[in-house]
Amino acid sequence: MAISLDLRRNQLLPALPDAERQRWLPQLEWVELPRGHVLYESSSTLSHVYFPTTAVVSLLYVMETASRPRSPSSATGLRRIALVVGGESTPCRAVVQSAGQAFG
Query: pLDDT by residue for the chain (104 residues), tens digit each?
Result: 455 457 778 888 888 899 988 888 888 888 999 999 999 888 787 778 888 999 999 988 876 655 544 444 433 334 443 444 445 666 788 899 999 999 88
Q: Which domain holds residue 50?
A: 29-103
Q: How far is CA 58 from the centre of its chain?
A: 9
The runs of H, that is alpha helices, within the chain are: 3-6, 12-15, 18-24, 81-84
Domain total in the chain: 1
Q: How many CA atoms lie within 13 A of 79 on its CB side?
A: 26
Residues 40 and 43: their CA atoms lie apart, in Å, by 9
Asked if residue 83 is part of any domain, the answer here is: yes
What CA–CA distance (Å, rounded) separates 83 from 100? Answer: 22
Inside any domain, residue 97: yes
Asked if residue 77 belongs to a domain, the reply is yes
Nearest Cα residue to 58 out of 69, 50, 67: 50
Whole-structure pTM value = 0.67
The answer to the question of residue 24 being in a domain is: no
